[in-house]
Amino acid sequence: MAKPARKTIEVGTLLHRLNYFLANDRGSADQREIMASFVEGILHDSGNYRGYRYIDGPDGEVDGLGTRRFYFVSSKIAADYDAAAALIAKHYPARGV
Q: What is the pLDDT of residues 1-28, one digit of tens each?
A: 677 776 788 999 999 999 988 887 778 8
DSSP state of 76: T
Q: What are phi and psi of 62, to 5 degrees?
A: -75, 125
Q: What is the pLDDT of residues 52-94, one digit of tens each?
A: 998 876 666 555 667 888 999 999 999 999 999 998 888 877 6
Q: What pTM was computed for the model?
A: 0.80
Contact between 18 and 71 under an 8 Å Cβ cutoff? The reply is yes
